[in-house]
Amino acid sequence: MSVRSTLALIVLLAAAITSWILSRQSSETGIRQSPQDAAKPGYYLKGARILGTGADGKLLYEIQAASAQQVGDNQIEFEDVFVKYSPESEVPWSVVADRATLLRDTEQVRLEGHVRALSSEGFSGNDTEIRTEVLIVNPVAYTAETDERVQIRIGPRSLTATGMVASLNDNRLKLKSNVSGKFVL
């Protein structure tokens, strides 16, 4: 091998090693700085179950959902939601909805999308169903409230109104406005 060939081989080998080192450093730097690869804060759950307790520390209610996701630092969003009181609470209500939001600093659950509150021992001791698009439930205070249109079925009677406040533990209901109904005797 000639001196010229040896020198060319050394230059090519040096260029290959330098290129390999530079490409490795830039790819490592790219990985560290890529926002898609950074760890995302929060959590995501499938088949979520959240238990809420009363002031005495005993189970008061349960939220079941197909999925739950932490959004920011202070809220959890749920999909395909079912909320029910524990049998010990003696509150015969359950609520289903497409979505729900639970804020960290409040005891309220905001339910949205095809919301249905159901009770076999509802108002006047009859099967009761409340339908609306948005319902704010405070499970600790046993209240449910909305400013949206509501449809209420109490046994064979039905009512519609705009807005309502319900006390779930003593089966009391206050309709806010635009009340109309159908009563079958």
What mean pLDDT is predicted for residues 79-105? 91
Q: Can you give the residue range of the structural domain that contains 34?
A: 1-38
* Whether residues 18 and 72 fall in one domain: no
Q: Chain-wide mean pLDDT for the chain?
A: 83
Q: How many domains does the chain have?
A: 2
Question: What's the whole-model pTM score?
Answer: 0.73
- Shared domain for 67 and 11, answered yes or no, is no
Same domain as 33, residue 55: no
Q: How far is CA 62 from CA 2, 28, 92, 97, 115, in A?
A: 84, 46, 13, 14, 17
Query: Per residue in 112-148, pLDDT tens?
Result: 999 999 998 866 678 889 999 999 999 999 999 999 9
Q: Smallest Cα–Cα separation from 159: which of 177, 179, 185, 145?
A: 179
* pLDDT tens column, 97-109: 999 998 777 889 9
